[in-house]
Structure 1
């Protein structure tokens, strides 16, 4: 959708947006095939929910960690002027 928006707005350098959209499309298809195969193999439909839960938990930890690092860096700079 971003590539379409760039084209409609007449933006330059849409080649990268096309590349990313193609990569996302292929990755979505691969992910769909892997999940369908895993559901057939193991017989649980909850595998998708479990996978999404893991991704969300990992995202929460990473976002919190990077936010804490940024806050610490800003605090250290304000105190020490470094």
Structure 2
């Protein structure tokens, strides 16, 4: 296997939990922005680096992992 996913799947196991019966709860994003701005900035910097440093067509690129819009979608999505 290769680290870029071109020679087969990449298995991601995550980190082992101290107590598998009580895994840590993910921090709510709004709370992180408000209470931990440095941690939020670090998250955004990591996401930006991930998005920019892996070519779009690679299996482990931001675009492949996030999914692609159908090609028939030409108008922007409005919420």
Q: Please give the TM-score of this superposition, normalised by the length of structure 1.
A: 0.29
Higher relative contact order (CA 8 A, sep 6+): 2
So what's the TM-score if we normalise by structure 2? 0.30
Flag the structure with larger Rg. Answer: 1
